[in-house]
Homo-oligomer: A and B are copies of this chain.
Amino acid sequence: MTTAVVLLSGGLDSATALAVAKDRGHACHALTFRYGQRHSVELEAAARVTAALGVVEHRFVDVDLRAMGGSALTDDAIEVPRPNEVGAEGSEIPVTYVPARNTIFLSYALGYAEVVGARDIVIGVNSLDYSGYPDCRPVFVEAFERLANLATKAGVEGDRFHVRAPLIQMTKAEIIRLGASLGVDYAMTHSCYDPAPVGGACGACDSCSLRRRGFEAAGLPDPTLYA
Report A's interface with B, CB cutoff 8 A: 59, 61-65, 67-70, 93, 97-104, 106-108, 110-112, 114-115, 134-135, 137, 139-140, 143-144, 146-148, 150-153, 155-156
Q: Which residues of B contact A108 (CB under 8 A)?
A: 68, 100, 104
Shortest Cβ distance from A16 into chain B, in angstroms?
Answer: 23
Q: Is B150 a contact partner of A70 (Cβ separation < 8 A)?
A: no
> Most B CB atoms within 10 A — which of A98, A107, A140?
A107
Q: Which residues of B contact A70 (CB under 8 A)?
A: 111, 114-115
Q: Is A68 a contact partner of B112 (Cβ separation < 8 A)?
A: yes
Shortest Cβ distance from A100 into chain B, in angstroms?
Answer: 3
> Most B CB atoms within 10 A — which of A61, A110, A156?
A156
Shortest Cβ distance from A148 into chain B, in angstroms?
Answer: 8
**A97 and chain B: residue at smallest CB distance:** B153
A173-B147 Cα distance, complex, nearest whole Å: 30
Partner of A151 from B67, B102, B114 at Cβ < 8 Å: B102
